[in-house]
Amino acid sequence: TELEQQRFQLTTEEKQLRQKLADEKRVYTQIKNDLKNLPNHVETLKASVEKQQKLVESKTVSPK
């Protein structure tokens, strides 16, 4: 019957929306974690750059 068809369609839509919501929550959590870890990444990069600069300076001969 038509009501059964509508019910089936609504159930299908509900499943899709729940799945979409779960996906969105996963993405949100991933972004939140990435943002939380960002300062650590920045510090690591800074340290790496400083290390490289010191290495370059140590290999650069200053003219006398």
Domain membership flag for residue 4:
yes
Residue 18 has pLDDT above 80, yes or no: yes
**Residue 4 domain boundaries:** 1-58
Domain membership flag for residue 40:
yes
User: Tens digit of pLDDT for each residue in 24-46?
Assistant: 999 999 999 999 999 999 999 99
Domain membership flag for residue 64:
no
Domain membership flag for residue 27:
yes
54: pLDDT confidence band, cut at 50, 70 and 90?
very high
CA distances from 38 to 5, 32, 33, 51, 52 (A): 49, 10, 9, 20, 21
Domain membership flag for residue 22:
yes
Domain membership flag for residue 63:
no
